[in-house]
Structures are given as structure tokens and as C-alpha cells.
């Protein structure tokens, strides 16, 4: 892993910042949607899953691993574990968040997640994002665009 303060290729730095900024924006969107009157919980949990997915892909890019299109978080966590075994703490979060990529996105039997599921998804999305961000070089962390909507 790169050391804090290391010099990084400008293109790679920009790509990592973009992935993590998109993840941060997904978390911000999820919080806003869950607080709307009335709350828009189906879309909120989707954005929690998206935040985790983008953060994990950013870590894989940092490590020089190519990323592919998938909404399945557990395989992404397992790929991250190849570089840092501590990613194993995210396995449960990955299993809980993965279905939110599609479960509530289309009409069907399940239209809305439970309020407690939304709260859990927000916590887990933030957990994954924070875990990944803590492993990023300083020059990446300093450039991620956060939205303060608390």
C-alpha cells in the first residue's frame, strides 16, 4: 500500500478522487432522501449500496487491480482482502447492502424498505466508505468532495 504523503500519478490520483467523491455524494444523497418529508427510502438504500460499491472499487484501483461492472459487494470485499485481510470486517455489510442495488429499484412485491433497514444501510454505507477512505493516501483524502448535509 502507498504510504501517506507519497507521490502518485496525477491520472490515478484524479480517478481515485472521482470514485470516492461519487461515493461521498451517494452517502449524502442517501441521508437527504431518508430525511425528506416523506422519506424516499427505496432510493436511499440504493445510494448506500452504491457508496459502498464505489468505495471498494476505488480501493481496488489504488492497489492496481482492474474493476469490472458488478453490484455484488462480497466479491469486491474478497478482492480487497487479497491486499488487506482486515477488509474481512466488511463482509456482513457487503451481504446486507448488495440486495439494495436492485430490490427496491423496480415495481414489485417489495416497494419500500423498513425504516430500521434504512438506518442500518446508512450506517453500513458509511462504515464501508470510512474504512476505505482510512486506507487512502493523504493526497487522495484531501481532494475528496464531501457534502455536509447533517
Q: pLDDT tens track of the chain, all 150 residues? A: 444 445 678 999 999 999 999 999 999 999 999 999 999 999 999 999 999 999 999 999 999 998 889 899 999 999 999 999 999 999 999 999 999 999 888 887 777 899 999 999 999 999 999 999 999 999 999 999 887 655
- Which of 57, 60, 81 has the alpha carbon at shortest distance from 70? 57
**Residues sharing a CB contact under 8 Å with residue 127, sequence separation 6 or more, in sequence order:** 90, 93
φ and ψ at residue 82, rounded to 5 degrees = -65, -30
Amino acid at each position: 500500500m502507498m504510504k501517506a504523503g507519497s507521490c502518485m500519478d496525477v491520472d490515478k490520483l484524479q480517478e481515485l478522487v472521482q470514485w470516492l467523491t461519487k461515493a461521498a455524494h451517494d452517502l449524502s444523497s442517501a441521508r437527504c432522501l431518508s430525511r425528506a418529508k416523506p422519506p424516499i427510502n427505496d432510493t436511499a438504500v440504493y445510494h448506500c449500496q452504491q457508496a459502498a460499491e464505489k468505495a471498494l472499487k476505488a480501493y481496488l484501483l489504488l492497489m492496481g487491480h482492474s474493476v469490472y461492472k458488478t453490484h455484488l459487494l462480497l466479491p469486491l470485499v474478497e478482492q480487497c482482502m487479497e491486499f488487506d485481510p482486515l477488509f474481512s470486517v466488511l463482509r456482513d455489510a457487503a451481504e446486507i447492502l448488495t440486495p439494495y442495488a436492485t430490490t427496491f429499484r423496480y415495481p414489485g412485491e417489495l416497494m419500500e424498505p423498513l425504516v430500521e433497514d434504512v438506518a442500518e444501510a446508512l450506517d453500513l454505507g458509511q462504515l464501508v466508505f470510512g474504512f476505505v477512505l482510512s486506507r487512502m493516501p493523504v493526497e487522495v483524502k484531501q481532494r475528496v468532495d464531501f457534502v455536509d448535509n447533517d
